[in-house]
């Protein structure tokens, strides 16, 4: 359970109620599931409605960017989620990635992406970037960034970097607030965090 009480629709102002309504509709469309605890991160943000509004605008803008291949975006976001070990993010991200075309075998192979034959060299490059960005401190060597520039445009690299960064934001916020899995992947295969010894794949 979250460490703070959630702001229910009954206690929310009109702007927050609208944010809940449209977010629930969007997440249901994105995941194919309507689960009870799907709004918990927003219900915590709603303690500061101005912050909820700003965060929602960032999420909306993020969702509309389409420079990257969907596969690469899903891989990057889900790998970042497993690096922060955010249950909510892994739960939802696994379902979104599965609906986007990733196989169950790929989901469970993420901790060992460097040695897996399921990912091509560009997939592995994206996953390595997600690992480097999700570490503390960030570890993105010049050589890794140069390889990214061989395969992606500047706009694609900005989108990829933003996708990984915002996934880290989501995960760290949820972890600090005690927000767990909501049930998006219940009954299905879910990605798992990398063991400490295999954090780099």
Task: Give the closest residue to 133 by CA, choosing from 175, 161, 174.
Answer: 161
Average pLDDT over residues 145-162: 98
Number of domains in the chain: 1
> Residue 4 domain-assigned?
no
Question: What's the chain's average pLDDT?
Answer: 95
Residue 1 lies in a domain: no
In a domain, 68, yes or no: yes
Predicted pLDDT at 196: 62
**SS3 for 49?**
helix
Among candidate residues 100, 170, 107, 109, the one with its CA nearest the CA of residue 134:
170
Structural domain contains residue 91: yes
- Domain span including residue 184: 9-198
What is the pLDDT at residue 11?
96
Say if 2 falls within a structural domain. no
Helix, strand, coil abundance in the chain, percent, nearest 5:
65, 0, 35
> Which pair of structure tokens corresponds to residue 24?
């629930």
Question: Which helix or strand (DSSP H or E) is residue 107 part of?
Answer: helix 104-109
d(CA 90, CA 167): 10
Confidence of residue 12 (pLDDT cuts 50, 70, 90): very high
Full-model pTM: 0.94
CATH code of the domain containing 189: 1.20.1290.10
In a domain, 90, yes or no: yes
In a domain, 3, yes or no: no
For residue 77, being part of any structural domain is answered with yes
Cα(40)–Cα(55) distance, integer angstroms: 14
pLDDT tens column, 98-148: 999 999 999 999 999 999 999 999 999 999 999 999 999 999 999 999 999
CA angle 10, 13, 19 (to 5 degrees): 95
Is 194 a residue whose pLDDT tops 90? Answer: no
């Amino acid at each position: 359970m979250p460490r703070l009480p959630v702001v229910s629709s009954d206690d929310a102002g009109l702007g927050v109620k609208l944010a809940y309504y449209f977010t629930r509709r969007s997440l249901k469309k994105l995941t194919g599931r309507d689960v009870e605890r799907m709004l918990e991160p927003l219900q915590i943000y709603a303690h500061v409605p101005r912050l909820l509004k700003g965060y929602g605008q960032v999420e909306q803008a993020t969702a509309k960017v389409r420079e990257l291949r969907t596969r690469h975006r899903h891989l990057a976001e889900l790998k970042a989620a497993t690096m922060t070990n955010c249950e909510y993010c892994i739960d939802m991200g696994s379902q979104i990635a599965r609906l986007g075309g990733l196989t169950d075998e790929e989901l469970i192979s993420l901790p060992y992406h460097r040695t897996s034959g399921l990912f091509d060299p560009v997939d592995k490059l994206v996953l390595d970037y997600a690992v480097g960005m999700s570490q503390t401190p960030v570890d993105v060597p010049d050589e890794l960034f140069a390889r990214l520039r061989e395969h992606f445009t500047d706009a694609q690299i900005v989108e990829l970097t933003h996708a990984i960064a915002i996934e880290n934001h989501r995960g760290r916020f949820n972890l600090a607030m005690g927000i767990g899995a909501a049930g998006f992947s219940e009954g299905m295969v879910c990605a798992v965090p990398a063991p400490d010894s295999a954090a780099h794949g």
